[in-house]
Amino acid sequence: MSIQKTKYIWMNGKFLSWDEAKIHVLTHALHYGSGVFEGIRCYNTIKGPAIFRLQDHIKRLFNSARKCLIEIPYPENKICEVIVELIKLNKLKECYIRPIVFRGYGEMGLNPQNNPVEVAVIVWGWGAYLGDESLKKGVKTMVSSYRRTPSNVLPSHIKATACYLNSILAKLEALNHGYDEAIMLNQKGFVAEGPGENIFLVKNGVIYTPPAYSDILLGITRDSILKIAENLEYEVKEVDITVEMLYNADEAFFTGTATEVVPICEVDGRKIGDGKPGPITLKLQKEYLDIVRGKKAEYEAWLTYI
């Protein structure tokens, strides 16, 4: 789906028109992937538009930058204010929010220290990441031949632009084989995550997800689902997951800001459970979608109203 243009983009301290927000072809990040970013969503609620877990996303952005030795020339609260203002200016009720911090045009070569740090925020309407039907019907997946980059090669646990070539290769492989999405293993051969999603499975009523040390991004949706599942009194285990456990699961699902909560119906041609979205997946999906749309008072602290 092509990007739905909006009126304004915030870039390096200014609100610019969409078409004005351009970069030079010698931008360091374009050549060497020296950037970090976030993906956040704003949902319409009965009390108006609200951003889901904004401060947590911005904390992760600053943490990603710190790991890459990039100093963001604004404080965290300024970026939060800019996002709220940009959504207002663009008169959006629901949108995807993409803050990006990157090394700009300065010098060429692998030492980025003399290249300016540029910051932009873009907001636009973006529907279901894995397709409109994905939330209801689920998706078909394959275990990728691409392993997730181990943290001592590229830090998978931060949102660095450079890490995403690994994800793109896995995604294209899955699409070229006729699947909707890939599942990536880590170097040890345990299930890690999707190219842009965390993964969960359900067996005998217990919910499983790979632990933090398994070369995964610590997704904010993953964290939300862990808290929601505990509040609903499910037993949750963060343990190493083998491909065999995945094949034998009763249910499986992906989580992510763009993806939301999407059932996985098939892995490598094997049906998960009866091949239809499972009851626990659908319960967690409903709870999540109710929370982001402000229908659950006990989760209000996760919402920043515009």
Contact map string, positions 22 to 61, toward ligand PMP, x by CB under 6 A = -----------------x----------------------
Rounded to a whole number of angstroms, the CA Rg of the chain reads 19
Q: How far apart are the first and last CA of the chain?
A: 26
Structure tokens at 70: 């990039």
Our finding on whether 221 is near ligand PMP (CB under 6 A) is yes
C-alpha pair distances (Å), 254 with each of 134, 165, 216, 267, 303: 10, 20, 13, 12, 22
Could you say which residues in the range 225-284 bind ligand PMP, by CB under 6 A? 255-257
- Residue of 14, 78, 136, 159 marked active site: 159
- Residue 159 falls in the annotated catalytic set: yes
Cβ distance to ligand PMP smaller for residue 6 or 64 = 64
Give the one residue of 198, 209, 214, 285 binding ligand PMP; rule: CB under 6 A: 198
Helix (H, G, I), strand (E, B) or coil at 84: helix
Q: How far is the CB of 221 from ligand PMP (least distance, A)?
A: 3
Structure tokens at 91: 């008169």
**Residue 209 φ then ψ, to 5°:** -150, 150
Give the one residue of 99, 196, 263, 278 binding ligand PMP; rule: CB under 6 A: 196
> Using CB under 6 A, which of the segments 8-16, 193-201, 235-243, 270-278 binds ligand PMP?
193-201
Could you say which residues in the range 149-168 bind ligand PMP, by CB under 6 A? 167
Q: How far is the CB of 112 from ligand PMP (least distance, A)?
A: 22
48: enclosing H helix or E strand:
strand 48-52
User: How far apart (Å, rounded) are the C-alpha atoms in residues 76 and 90?
Assistant: 22
C-alpha pair distances (Å), 6 with each of 37, 88, 91, 126: 19, 12, 9, 12
Cβ distance to ligand PMP smaller for residue 181 or 197 = 197
Give the one residue of 217, 229, 246, 280 binding ligand PMP; rule: CB under 6 A: 217
Residue with the CB atom nearest ligand PMP in the bound state: 219
CA 234, distance to chain mean position in Å, is: 24
**Percent of the chain as helix, strand, coil, to the nearest 5:** 30, 30, 40
Could you say which residues in the range 81-110 bind ligand PMP, by CB under 6 A? none
User: How far apart (Å, rounded) are the C-alpha atoms in residues 229 and 101?
Assistant: 33
Give the one residue of 118, 197, 215, 287 binding ligand PMP; rule: CB under 6 A: 197
Report, as residue numbers or ranges, the catalytic residues.
159
Q: Which residues contact ligand PMP by CB under 6 A?
A: 39, 167, 193, 196-198, 217, 219-222, 255-257
